[in-house]
Amino acid sequence: MDGNGRWAQQRGLARSFGHRKGVEMVRQTVRTAGEMGIGCLTLFAFSSENWRRPPEEVTDLMGLLKLFIRRDLAELHRENVRVHVVGSRKNLAPDIKGLLDEAETRTRENTGLNLVIAFNYGGRDEIARAVREIAEDVAAGRVAADEVDDALLGARLDTAGLPDPDLIIRTSGEQRLSNFLLWQAAYAELVFVPCLWPDFDRAAFEGALAEFDRRDRRFGAVDDADLAVGSG
Ligand code: IPE
Ligand code: MG
């Protein structure tokens, strides 16, 4: 979700207005994803690098997360949404940590859309934390070094048990991952859309999904049709 600040600036408003509008678009997108039957939707809400923003903006973003969970958790639960949170919980304010824990615990049994909130999340940090844990297990003799493979590492990431993303959409025209799901994105299709996050309406969402449908996914293999041509 990128472009809240620019959306506000284009209207001569403070960045905080863009973030507010961005939360509305989060609500709408979660609803749309549920209606479309998408299994898992991950939203990059706050990165481990976003702490570098001015303190007022950081406070504002923390406040919006709290507001979102307090206001929307009951409805998400009613809609059978299961909430997961990825990112480091260490050093978060106790009220934020409490709300994130509550969102996960309360919706644990739900079987609808998996909504993953990436908060205080950085892909490198996530991998480093998993490696540290594995190193401790190896040092203690609980895991043999030659047992460490991509499945074992994947199971130690915050996203353990969740599917790798098929599609990653970034709004606002920037074309980079910015530390998002680095490990999990290995075979994800990347779609970069020019619209700013507060303008990412249902039509924009459907446009990105249509682009995804046009992609040819081979996962390192060769298309059956191309094989047939080669052997024929
Ligand atoms: C995305 O919008 C919101 C967050 C990641 C918190 P930005 O705040 O990055 O908006 P721009 O990039 O400055 O326009
Ligand atoms: Mg940005």
154-185 pLDDT, tens digit each:
999 999 999 999 999 999 999 999 999 999 99
Q: Is residue 55 part of a domain?
A: yes
> Counting Cβ atoms within 10 Å, is residue 81 exposed (0-12), middle (13-18) or buried (19+)?
buried
Instruction: Annotate 179-220 with DSSP letters as a single string.
Output: TSSTTGGGG-EEEE-SS-GGG--HHHHHHHHHHHHH----TT
Please report the pLDDT score of residue 229 as a whole number.
67
On whether the CB atoms of residues 114 and 39 are closer than 8 A, the answer is yes
On whether the CB atoms of residues 102 and 77 are closer than 8 A, the answer is no
Distance from C-alpha of 82 to C-alpha of 104, rounded to nearest angstrom: 7
**Domain containing residue 88:** 4-212
Residue nearest to atom 9 of ligand 1 (CA): 2
Measured from the alpha carbon of residue 15, the closest ligand is 1
pLDDT interval class at 232 (50, 70, 90): very low
> Using a 6 Å cutoff on CB, does residue 4 contact ligand 1?
yes
pTM of the model: 0.95
197 labeled part of a ligand binding site: no
Measured from the alpha carbon of residue 44, the closest ligand is 1
Distance from C-alpha of 112 to C-alpha of 228, rounded to nearest angstrom: 40
Q: Is residue 20 part of a domain?
A: yes
Q: Which atom of ligand 1 is nearest to the CA of 15?
A: 8
CATH number at residue 36: 3.40.1180.10
> Counting Cβ atoms within 10 Å, is residue 167 exposed (0-12), middle (13-18) or buried (19+)?
middle
On whether the CB atoms of residues 188 and 166 are closer than 8 A, the answer is yes
> Using a 6 Å cutoff on CB, does residue 48 contact ligand 1?
no
Which listed residue (50, 164, 179, 201) is catalytic? 50
| Centre of ligand 1 from the C-alpha of residue 18, in Å | 8
5 labeled part of a ligand binding site: yes
When divided into structural domains, the chain yields a total of 1
54-111 pLDDT, tens digit each:
999 999 999 999 999 999 999 999 999 999 999 999 999 999 999 999 999 999 999 9
170 labeled part of a ligand binding site: yes
On whether the CB atoms of residues 153 and 129 are closer than 8 A, the answer is no
183 labeled part of a ligand binding site: no
Q: Is residue 219 part of a domain?
A: no
Q: Candidates 172, 180, 195: which one to mutate for ligand 1, based on the most atoms within 8 Å of Cβ?
A: 172
| Centre of ligand 2 from the C-alpha of residue 53, in Å | 11
Q: Is residue 113 part of a domain?
A: yes
142-156 pLDDT, tens digit each:
999 999 999 999 999
What region, left, alpha or beta, does residue 115 occupy, with left being phi > 0 and alpha being psi -120 to 50 degrees? Answer: beta
Q: Is residue 4 within a helix (H) or strand (E), and if so which, with residue range?
A: helix 4-10
> Using a 6 Å cutoff on CB, does residue 171 contact ligand 1?
no
Q: Is residue 231 part of a domain?
A: no
6-56 pLDDT, tens digit each:
999 999 999 999 999 999 999 999 999 999 999 999 999 999 999 999 999
Please report the pLDDT score of residue 47 as a whole number.
98
